[in-house]
Structure formats: structure tokens, C-alpha cells
Chains A and B, each alone.
Chain A
Amino acid sequence: MSLSQPANLVQLVRTSGLCILRQLRLEEKLLRSPGAGNWCLLNDGTPDRSVVLGISGKPHQLVDVRRALDDGVRVIKRFSGGGTVIVDRDTQFVTLVMNAAAVPDLALFPRQIMDWTGSLYGGRPHGVFADVPGWQLRENDYVIGERKVGGNAQSISKDRWLHHTSFLWDFREETMKYLTNPAKQPRYRANRSHSDFLAPLKTYLPDRNALATRIEAALEGMGLEVAPASIEQAEDAVAAFHRGSGVGTTGVVDLETALTLGPDDRAPMLTGA
């Protein structure tokens, strides 16, 4: 990647069925690669159903560990903050990895970044959901009406920031059985079950390609220049910074060991996974 490219250029990668573990590890490397430029990764679905914890997630408080182990559902711990999601072929992922210079007036703190992405998704006239009645950013969640349509999280490192979202194009109630009802909830959730709290995006968008198409227009509406790129180019962009290094904290939780631990214990990680 040439370092002489415009500061507001975003390379946009569209994939379908990219494994979520591969995606998250790439995202972490992109964040920690200061010369890698700005990226938007759009991935439609992941082949392996997985639970994804935030950086501080404790398995026993958030996951039915025994059920996940028995059913072969992988639990991943990611590098960003925020809560727990379950992802599968009907999850649509949108990730931004940006230099501070791409949005020069944006202070790199969580609330300010959240406000900016709130404009990306809901601002008029270019926002992704500008034409969807009831869309709003509410207690740091993306909701339509009273229901959440996507989980989001951030990571901030030096002069780069990352914001990623997993949107539910569709979901099955039986998938939610791997997640416990979290003790810490936004007020508007009012202790509702997962199926009463969440809404599928397919209710509001015409087809599975709509999100990706709208994201590109919304980025341009926010003053960014968008250029298509491939996943291989994204992986090449980080190779120079991480050659041979095992950098990264994203990994797979050792569920066998997690079963032996207490409710307040941190996630034990599998090595070599």
C-alpha cells in the first residue's frame, strides 16, 4: 500500500463466508499496523456458528459452556471491548479500521467515535438506515424501534481506531440458547429475552446486498473516498508489520478448561488454535 494515498481513502473489501476467526485476527493486525491505511471490511456470513466474547468476557457469565462444548460451538475471545454475540451464516459484518487523519476532527475516544458511526448509519441523507423509520443509536446499540439489529464494539490504538458491527440479517431462536442473559444490560432492554430484544435486518432491507451497497454510499457521504480491494490485499498490507510475529490476542477459548473454572474466571485460551 502506498503511503502517498489520500488520507481519506478507504479500501473496501467485500467477502462472503469469510471465517470469523480469520476476519477478527486480520482486523486486529490492521488496527496495529500504522502504515496500512484505512479499511472497510464487509463480510456476509461466517460458515461456522461461533460465540464471540469481548476482551473482558468471562465464559461462565455469558455462555452456556457445557452446551457449547457438547454441540461443538466454538467460543472466540476478540481484542475489542463490548459484549457477547453469536454469529453464523446470517450475520453481516461491517468493520472500519481508520487512521486519525482520515477524520481529522474526530477525537479518538469511545463516545466521539460512536457519534461518528451513528451518523454513518443514521445520518441524513446518506446514512445507511436514513430511510428506515425508527432507526437510532440508543445506549450505544443500533436499534430499530425497540429492537437491536446489530452489536458493535471498538478498539483504539495510538492514532488508529476500529469500529466493528455484527448485524443480524436473520437469526434463529434456537441459536440464542448458547448465550446467557447478561447481568449488565442497557436500560431499554428491560430484561427481555434475546428473541424479544433482537430484530432481523431482513425485515428492513430489501436484500442481502443492500447493506454493502449502502455502506459505500454512506462512507462517501461522510467525506471519504472509497476504492475496492481484496482480502488478499488487506492481508498483504499487514504482513510487513507482523512478519513472523504472533501478534494478537484474539483466539479460541479452551472450553474444556473453562468448565473447571469459576464464574469470575477469565477465559482460558487454546494455544495454537
Chain B
Amino acid sequence: MALRQFARQSARSLGLRSDVSLAPALATRGMSTVIEGLKYMASHEWAKVDGDTVTVGITDHAQAELGDVVYVELPEVGSQVSAKSTFGVVESVKAASDVYSPISGEVVAVNEDLADSPGKVNEGAYTDGWMMKVKMTDPKELDALMDAKAYEASCDH
């Protein structure tokens, strides 16, 4: 029951349709969540496509493995990012971990809340913990990303 409610809340905040049929599509692997309708990288970033803009963050699996996030370094608005290249850094438990952009384009927004509240990455990896929004230069790059099922399978290897 709690899982269905979580599914509805997550789906609404991501701008996805919220209906009961989404709840079974909200897969869990152990304690981590994978959301249908998003695209994923093997390095544990997610991408939500909205027209020519993509919102990017790290997955629930990644935040769970990283531990308490204490610092997030993000690119400047207006800068360019490249697919599969580093766009920022997440610090947790004495480790600085690079995060990678799923697509190329111009950064049009970053989540400034993470400067004072980096823990939002842990609390809502797919919602309040979003990191940047990118205006795509080549939508075909999305074809190289995984869907939820493929990402979930990659985490099991």
C-alpha cells in the first residue's frame, strides 16, 4: 500500500501520469527504486525528457550506495555538457564521486537547493534531488540510454 502511494507521489512530481497502473511498474531492487518512464545510464544517472529539455539526477540505488551526501558540485548555468562526460561531483563518506551527463547540450538550470541541502539527493533522488536541466543538442543520444528494466538488470550484475 505504501509503495502505491509513493509511486503516485513520485510520478506526479516527475510530471508523469499518476494512475494505479503505474504502481506495478515502479520496480524495486532490494531497498532501491527504479522508475518507469525515465532513461538511465550504467553509471547510475537518470534522465527525464520533457520536449527538448532533460532533467538529470542520480538514481536511488546510487544515493543508497554513496551514503549521506554532504556536497554537490554542479555546472554553471549556460555551460555546455557532453554525453558520458563528467558534469559534477557528489561527496559522501569521504569520497568525491564524479557524475556523468546522459546527453549533450546547454545547462539551463541547476538545483540551487543542493548547495545548502545536499541531503535532498538522498531523500528524493528522483524528485527534490534533481541536479540539472539540459537543453539537448542531439536527441538521438537518448537512444544510447537504458530503460528502467535494462537499468535494473544492469544493477544486478
**A-to-B contact residues, CB < 8 Å:** 54-56, 79-83, 107, 109-114, 140, 152-158
Contacts and interface: CB of A to CB of B under 8 A. Distances in A.
B71 interface: yes
A153 B94 contact: yes
Determine which residue in B91, B94, B98 has the highest number of CB atoms from chain A within 10 A of its CB, and name it.
Answer: B94
Contacts of A110: 65-67, 92-95, 97
Contacts of A152: 94
B65 A111 contact: yes
B81 to A, nearest CB: 16
28 contacts: A54-B91, A54-B94, A55-B73, A55-B89, A55-B96, A56-B70, A56-B73, A56-B91, A79-B96, A80-B96, A81-B71, A81-B94, A81-B95, A82-B94, A109-B65, A109-B66, A109-B95, A110-B93, A111-B65, A111-B67, A113-B95, A140-B94, A154-B95, A154-B96, A155-B96, A156-B95, A156-B96, A156-B98
Helix, strand, loop or mixed for chain B's interface?
Answer: strand
Interface in B69-97: 70-71, 73, 86, 89, 91-97
A158 B89 CA distance: 12
B43 A158 contact: yes
Contact of A158 (B71, B94, B98): B98
Interface residues of B, number: 18
Nearest to B92: A110
A84 to B, nearest CB: 12
A114 B95 CA distance: 10
Contacts of A109: 65-66, 95, 97
Nearest to B43: A158
A136 to B, nearest CB: 16
